[in-house]
Each structure stands twice: as C-alpha cells, then as structure tokens.
Amino acid sequence: MFKVAILDDYQRVARSLADWSSLTPRVQTEFFHDNLVDLAPLADRLHSFQAVLAMRERTPFPRALIERLPNLRLLVTAGRRNASIDLAAASERGVLVTGTETLPTPTMELTWGLILALSRNLVREANGMRSGQWQTTVGHVVAGKTLGVLGLGKLGSRVAAVGKVFGMQVLAWSQNLTPERAAEVGAVYAGKDRLLETSDIVTIHLVLSERTRNLIGAAELARMKPGAFLINTSRGPIVNQAALVEALSSRRIAGAAVDVYDQEPLPADHPLRTVENLLLTPHLGYVTEENYRLVYGCAVENIRAFLDGKPLRAINQLN
C-alpha cells in the first residue's frame, strides 16, 4: 500500500476538495490538521509514508527531516516553488519533488482588500458597529494617490493594473526591473528610495531570497511618508518585523497590513498582535476554495502519474 500524508489541512477541507478515492485501492491517504514542525515528532509521524503533500511552506522540509524519512519517494508541494524544501537533500535521497498549478489572482484580490480596508478603516468601523458605535474615523480615497509596487512580476503586474483602474499613479521597482518592462503594465520605473519616499501605499510582491530578506528595515521605513501604508502579502522575512513594530508604534508610518510572517502560524504572544495600527490576516492570500480545488486536484493527478510511471516535472528554486 502506497501511503500518502496530506499535511496542514487547517480547515479540514482537503478530503472534500479532490477525488482522493480515485487513487484506491493502491493508495492510503491520511489527513493531518495540525501544524507539527518539531523534528523528532514530525519524523516519527511521517516515517512510514511514501508520499507527502505539503501545503505551501506550512511545514518545512530541511535536510535533517528528509534524511529521517527512509520511505519517502514523492514530495508534492502546492505551487511551483517552495523555499522551505531542501531540494539538494531530496535529490540525494532519491525523492522526487514536484508542484501543482495555482490560480494567479487570489493574492492580488486579498492585497486590494487589505489596501481598501486600511484606507477606509473597515475593520475598526465594522467592530465599532457591533459595539453600538457610529462613524468614529475618517477614511481616505485611493484615487489620485501614488501606489508603489515592489516587484512587478505576474502578481505585482496585476496589482499595478488594478491601481491604474482606481486612478492611481503607479511606481514600480525591483532589482531586475527595467523602465521598459514597467511601462508595459502602465507603471513608472522608480529607484527604491524614490518609491518609498513618494508612495502613499507601498505593496510588496517579491520572491524571498537572500537579496530580498530584510529588504524593508528601519532605514527604509523611515523614508516612507508619515501618512503612508505598507502592505505585505509576499513573504514575512522581506520586512524586518522588529523595525515594523517600531515604525507603527511610533506612528512613523500611518499603518500596515500583513498577511505573512517569519513564523507561521504566528505565535499567540507575538508583538505584532499588540500593534493598534496594524491589520493582521493569517496568510489568506492563496486560501480560497477555488485555489484549494486546483491544488488538491493536481496533487491527486501527480500521485497517480507517479504510480503509473509517467514523467513529472521536478521543481527547482528558479522556475
């Protein structure tokens, strides 16, 4: 029997969002709803499984874990990139690492939800209504404001396009961005410093790498307008969390919205949870029923193809 572990099914929906029964009788599936990352108990849990489905980076697979999983042959990750998997270690152990398709729009939609929620104080006003209050804040329009987009790839380009629809001026920057590429999506290329200094809203859409880790720290936050908002739906370590807490607590910037964190799930006692002008969401960017159906459906197809000896696309950190 080929045993498959489906990890980190937080909402207990994985079983219903794909036809896992199509893999029987060859496959036995087991669904795990908690987030177990401590090495020894996690290795014990996964020891007997030949395949694992990892939902994004919820459970890391470092060399120390992979080397303690002698039966593992297939590791499927949601999406085509997963920096928390040690691909070299997997290759050395003969473990095929492959990915799934994902939808291109859910994180873009959440980004704009967070921008509008900050601009119009939606969470505070909605909570106030439940406690009997009425109109306690004054919001801001986004039309006519400047949107700074850090990273103009597939996701950043979509965010920029929506900004144009709202009537915003869009500035863009990344290490490899050219003025010509920015112009293709209606954005204006700007240096990082200029973008931070002139944007009313700065939104991050960069891949986490050694070049982007701590890209936004105390110095960068100090360059932003006092009334500006920072949005991070990309990866937590791109923004220095301690610097962000300080900038928000001191009102150096007006507010921020964060969907991603250095450690996930975010600990209950984390300092970010205490900052008043910070809107927090629990990494919801990709969490939609439509996206889950696509991911889990692709995972089933990948497992079937592996068992049938059909070729599967191995992922790497560059695709």
**Alpha helices in 86-217, H assignment, sequence order:** 87-92, 106-119, 122-130, 154-165, 179-184, 192-198
Do residues 37 and 43 lie in contact, with contact meaning Cβ atoms separated by under 8 Å? Answer: no
Label residue 309 left, alpha or beta by phi (over 0 means left) and psi (-120 to 50 means alpha): left
51-54 vs 27-31, strand pairing mode: unpaired
**Six-digit token string for 272:** 């970010």
**Which of 264, 270, 293, 304 is the catalytic position?**
264
Confirm whether 283 is a catalytic residue.
yes
Confirm whether 235 is a catalytic residue.
yes
Q: What's the rounded Cα separation, in Å, for the pair 279 and 258?
A: 6
Q: Which has the closest alpha carbon to 237: 219, 210, 257?
A: 210
Q: What's the rounded Cα separation, in Å, for the pair 175 and 192?
A: 9
Residues in Cβ contact with 32 at an 8 Å cutoff, skipping those fewer than 6 apart: 5, 6, 7, 8, 9, 45
**Alpha helices in the chain, H assignment, sequence order:** 39-46, 63-66, 87-92, 106-119, 122-130, 154-165, 179-184, 192-198, 218-223, 241-249, 289-307
**Which of 57, 158, 283, 301 is the catalytic position?**
283
**Which of 56, 158, 205, 235 is the catalytic position?**
235
Confirm whether 264 is a catalytic residue.
yes
**Six-digit token string for 207:** 């891949």
The length of the chain is 319
Sign of the CA dihedral running 11, 15, 19, 22: positive
> What are the residue numbers of the active site?
235, 264, 283
